[in-house]
Amino acid sequence: MSTTDYAVSQQVVKDYLDRVSLPEPISARHEAELVERATALLKEKNAALVAHYYVDESLQALAEATGGCVSDSLDMARFGQSCDAQTLVVAGVSFMGETAKILSPEKQVWMPQLQATCSLDIGCEAGAYRAWRRQYPDHVAVVYANTSAAVKAEADWVVTSSIAVDVIEHLHAQGRSILWAPDKHLGGYVQKQTGADMVLWDGACIVHEEFRTRGLEDIKAIYPDAAILVHPESPDEMVAMADAVGSTKQLIDAAKTLPHSHLIVATDKGIFYKMRQAVPEKVLLEAPTRGVGGDCVSCAHCPWMAMNSLERLVSCLERDGAGHSIHVPDETRTGALRSLTRMVEFQRP
């Protein structure tokens, strides 16, 4: 296994975040008015709200109440493809909106905040990826869904964390060597699970990279019987301590099936909304990050997911998607559709 040296710097991320403001807090009354307005507009425009677990609770609740979807990135992609709505409003980050548009070009795809991106996407620029890929002509190129459409167009396969191990196992069984981008932590985890020959891009999620085993050990000392649930974008020493590792949806499923009464959860805080609903009888604890005194920019809450808000959703619907609409150039779409179709059609053995 080897890695590249293309890691996105914290400074690049900070500069990016300085350019887009986070939503201001709103009163309960204003929130109720916005929910009512958004519900009416979604119906009027025959639009479905497709939300990720990390966005604000108000958006997750609205998606559920209006027949949309709240899920992990794979299920969001599949839902967008199969639902009847003419318009998909994706509350998440840009790769999720692009994926929806590539899989359903006949639908309009809008986002409350088009600039909401992802540190993995920023850290894997298409030109650099193309040049890197050319160095490994015999490898099968697998990219994480958290990449731009242009990178997906260069790849053979797209995977999310929920199917990464299964897809690499499948390719490894065919004797293939893997060129993996961009998340080195997820790639390292998959490599350990499968024993596949993998070359890894040097990318990471700025949110999950902040989790620390030292703090985790401190919580475990207080709750020795607690189970640890970890998203595989976290550093490998966190994953090594986990009782369950998986995508956001898989972590919620694990919360239900694990017998433990206390769960320590290492992923974005947004997941607690649905996890609390899934296991109301259990005690849910946040895994510690470097936090206060450290130099983390997000402390267990993705700053790009946080750009989504009810106000921005209403504005997007009122403007009929003007300034909120996802467009993917035809040539890019054709290439990305190939690798994405493998992802959505992949069935676990």
Q: Is the CB of 129 or the CB of 304 nearer to ligand 13P? A: 304
**197, 248 contact by CB (below 8 A):** no
From 9-17, 69-77, 167-175, 192-200, give the range in contact with ligand 13P by CB under 6 A: 69-77
Size of the site for ligand 13P (CB under 6 A): 11
Query: Does 163 interact with ligand SF4 (rule: CB under 6 A)?
Result: no
Distance in angstroms (rounded) separating the CA atoms of residues 30 and 138: 57
Query: Does 159 interact with ligand SF4 (rule: CB under 6 A)?
Result: no
Q: What tokens does 333 get? A: 């779409």
Task: Fill in the per-residue mask, 207 to 236: x = in contact with ligand 13P (CB under 6 A), - = not in contact.
Answer: --------------------------x---
Query: Does 238 interact with ligand SF4 (rule: CB under 6 A)?
Result: no
- Give the pairing of strands 108-110 and 87-91: parallel
Q: Which of 60, 147, 148, 248 binds ligand 13P (CB under 6 A)?
A: 248
**218, 289 contact by CB (below 8 A):** no
**196, 168 contact by CB (below 8 A):** yes
Residues 6+ apart with CB under 8 A from 273: 53, 57, 60, 61
From 77-85, 133-141, 199-207, 315-323, give the range in contact with ligand SF4 by CB under 6 A: 199-207
Q: Restricting to residues 155-194, which ones interact with ligand 13P according to CB under 6 A? A: 160-162
Q: How far is the CB of 318 from ligand SF4 (least distance, A)?
A: 26
Q: How far is the CB of 215 from ligand SF4 (least distance, A)?
A: 19
Q: Is the CB of 146 or the CB of 194 nearer to ligand 13P? A: 146
Q: What tokens does 60 get? A: 């997750």
Distance in angstroms (rounded) separating the CA atoms of residues 182 and 151: 10
Query: Does 202 interact with ligand 13P (rule: CB under 6 A)?
Result: no
Q: Is the CB of 60 or the CB of 146 nearer to ligand 13P? A: 146
**228, 285 contact by CB (below 8 A):** no
* Per-residue exposure over 194-217, b if at least 16 CB sit within 10 Å of its own CB, e if not: bebebbbbbbbbbbbbbbbbebbe
Q: How far is the CB of 304 from ligand SF4 (least distance, A)?
A: 5
Query: Does 289 interact with ligand 13P (rule: CB under 6 A)?
Result: no
Query: Does 118 interact with ligand SF4 (rule: CB under 6 A)?
Result: yes
Q: Is the CB of 45 or the CB of 208 nearer to ligand SF4? A: 208
Distance in angstroms (rounded) separating the CA atoms of residues 313 and 18: 21
Query: Does 113 interact with ligand 13P (rule: CB under 6 A)?
Result: no
Size of the site for ligand SF4 (CB under 6 A): 13
Distance in angstroms (rounded) separating the CA atoms of residues 343 and 167: 9
Residues 6+ apart with CB under 8 A from 255: 229, 263, 265, 275, 278, 279, 282, 284
Helix (H) / strand (E) containing 230: strand 227-230
Of ligand 13P, ligand SF4, none, which one does residue 4 interact with (CB within 5 to 8 Å by kind)? none
Provide the binding-site residues for ligand SF4, judged by CB under 6 A. Answer: 93, 118-120, 146, 205-207, 233, 268, 302, 304-305
Q: Which residues bind ligand 13P (CB under 6 A)?
A: 72-74, 146, 160-162, 205, 233, 247-248
